[in-house]
């Protein structure tokens, strides 16, 4: 090989090595961190998703990107978050297909969960198959401990049905002991994973506490006229009415109870009671109504979070899943920045074992679930949805009976 050819070959080799090195650096320094989610923008789950999850996703992404992105110590810089989202149409099959697409086609770095118990159960195998952490913060199921073992990448932030039922049963038992209610309960429940799990746990809890289940009926998703069920509950003679309902049903149950002048001493409804829409729609008639969740008014971090949420979305967050959901995203952020790179296996391990500062306080998970991190039962009292159970510091005393409807 003559000198000219040797010089050209050497130059070409250097160029190839340089390009190869540049490619490696580019691979290590992503232009963005892709976060994907399938969420119910349409269908019966849209109301819940638009209150509890989508605003929290948007707020978290804004807060992270306003700081310059997630800090990745492995490359010594912050990298901004890019979002890819699909409408799952409140349908399990659509949710599964969308999550598959996000992983296999869009190649997202992280996945956020869908809304509701049913859809989280549906997509769980896909999250697990590809090793993505699943931060289920709008799902309540007694299968959570079993699922956390089967899918160690899954985290069940709202806990189990039994936890909520136990807190409710303890409250009702004390009311009965105090002579404020009789021992009869009327119960209705939506026929999906959420309603089925909670109603099953409730039947067992009520029986154990020697309550009489005077009426027990489920209804399909999308049912609009619930007045026949309310009529039967009213005729049952029960002082306590319990509904494990989704937001559209919760609104309908409240409307139709008012029309029928059905005002049991205890009215416990499902998802939606803690939504900002609820007091806007029903005004003073919300007083005394109970549901899942609740806030503690003296928690400054939660109050600051509410202010940020309202500043961005011009409305309050809900009083149950929102604070828990945003806390889960803070935990994810801290887990990533502690490890310093997008390593999903390491992120899962840190979520399982670490302690995190969140808007509801310090959280350390046990069996992939928080323990005594927030109120389980709340009640509208003087315009605030305050925690009333389980018993402990910061919990308000429950008010019984619920006031009569104001027409």
Q: Round to whole Å and give the CA distance between 64 and 329.
A: 10
Range 2-23 average pLDDT: 42
Q: Is the pLDDT of residue 370 over 70?
A: yes
Tens digit of each residue's pLDDT (9 = 90 or more) over 169-214: 999 999 999 999 999 999 999 998 899 999 999 999 999 999 999 9
Domains delineated in the chain: 33-160+298-364 (3.40.50.2300), 162-296+376-389 (3.40.50.2300)
Buried-exposed string 207-237: b where 16+ CB fall within 10 A, e elsewhere = eeeebebbbbebbebebeebbebbeebbebe
Give mean pLDDT, residues 357-361: 94
What percent of the chain lies above the pLDDT cut of 70? 93
Say which range, 254-258, 295-299, 340-344, has the weakest mean pLDDT: 295-299
Lowest mean pLDDT among 28-42, 74-88, 125-139: 28-42
Identify the helix (H) or strand (E) that includes residue 250: helix 247-259
C-alpha closest to that of 40 among 138, 156, 126, 132: 138
Query: What gap in Å lies between CA 398 and CA 167, rounded to an integer?
Result: 12
- In a 3-state reduction of DSSP, which class is residue 27? helix
- Distances in Å between the Cα of 54 and the Cα atoms of 39, 200, 227, 309, 365 are 8, 30, 32, 11, 24
**Cα-based distances in Å from 161 to 47, 248, 249:** 22, 21, 19
pLDDT of residue 391: 86
Q: Quick: pLDDT tens for 309-330.
A: 999 999 999 999 999 999 999 9
Contact 68, 333 (CB under 8 A): no
Nearest to 373 by CA among 157, 170, 201: 157
pLDDT for 28 equals 61
Residue 21: the pLDDT is: 40
Q: With 80 as the cut, is the pLDDT of residue 258 above it?
A: yes
What token pair was written down for 231? Answer: 């009529």
Residues 6+ apart with CB under 8 A from 367: 145, 148, 149
**Whole-number percent of the chain with pLDDT over 90:** 87
Q: What is the pLDDT of residues 53-66, one digit of tens each?
A: 999 999 999 999 99
Q: Which pLDDT band holds residue 24 (cuts at 50, 70, 90)?
A: very low
Is residue 16 over pLDDT 70?
no
**Between 344-353 and 321-339, two packed helices, what is the crossing angle to 10 degrees?**
120
Cα separation of 146 and 167, whole Å?
A: 21
Mean pLDDT in residue range 104-117 = 97
């Amino acid at each position: 090989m003559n000198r000219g050819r040797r010089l050209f070959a050497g130059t070409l080799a250097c160029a190839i090595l340089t390009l190869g090195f540049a490619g490696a650096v580019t691979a290590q320094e992503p232009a963005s961190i892709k976060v994907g989610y399938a969420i119910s923008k349409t269908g019966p789950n849209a109301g819940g998703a638009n209150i509890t999850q989508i605003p929290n996703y948007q707020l978290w992404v804004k807060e992270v990107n306003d700081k310059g992105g997630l800090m990745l110590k492995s490359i010594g810089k912050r990298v901004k978050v890019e979002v890819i989202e699909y409408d799952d149409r409140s349908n399990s099959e659509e949710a599964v297909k969308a999550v598959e697409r996000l992983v296999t086609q869009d190649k997202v770095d992280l996945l956020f969960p869908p809304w509701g118990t049913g859809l989280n159960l549906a997509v769980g195998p896909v999250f697990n198959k590809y090793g993505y952490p699943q931060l289920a913060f709008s799902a309540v199921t007694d299968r959570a401990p079993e699922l956390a073992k089967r899918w160690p990448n899954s985290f069940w932030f709202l806990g189990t049905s039994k936890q909520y039922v136990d807190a409710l049963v303890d409250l009702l038992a004390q009311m009965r002991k105090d002579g404020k209610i009789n021992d009869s309960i009327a119960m209705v429940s939506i026929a999906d994973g959420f309603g089925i799990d909670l109603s099953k746990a409730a039947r067992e809890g009520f029986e154990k506490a020697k309550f009489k289940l005077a009426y027990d009926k489920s209804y399909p998703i999308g049912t609009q006229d619930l007045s026949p069920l309310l009529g039967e509950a009213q005729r049952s003679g029960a002082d306590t009415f319990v509904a494990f309902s989704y937001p559209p049903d919760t609104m309908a149950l409240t409307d139709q109870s008012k029309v029928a002048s059905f005002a049991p001493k205890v009215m416990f409804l499902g998802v939606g009671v803690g939504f900002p829409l609820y007091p806007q729609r029903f005004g003073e008639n919300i007083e005394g109504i109970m549901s899942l969740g609740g806030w503690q008014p003296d928690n400054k971090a939660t109050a600051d979070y509410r202010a940020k949420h309202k500043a961005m979305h011009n409305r309050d967050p809900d009083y149950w899943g929102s604070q828990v959901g945003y806390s889960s995203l803070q935990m994810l952020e801290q887990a990533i920045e502690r490890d310093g790179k997008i390593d999903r296996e390491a992120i899962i391990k840190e979520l399982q074992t670490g302690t995190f500062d969140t808007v509801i306080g310090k959280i350390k998970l046990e069996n992939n679930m928080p323990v005594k991190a927030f109120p389980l039962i709340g009640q509208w009292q003087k315009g605030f949805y305050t925690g009333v159970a389980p018993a402990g510091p910061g919990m308000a005393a429950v008010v019984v009976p619920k006031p009569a409807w104001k027409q």
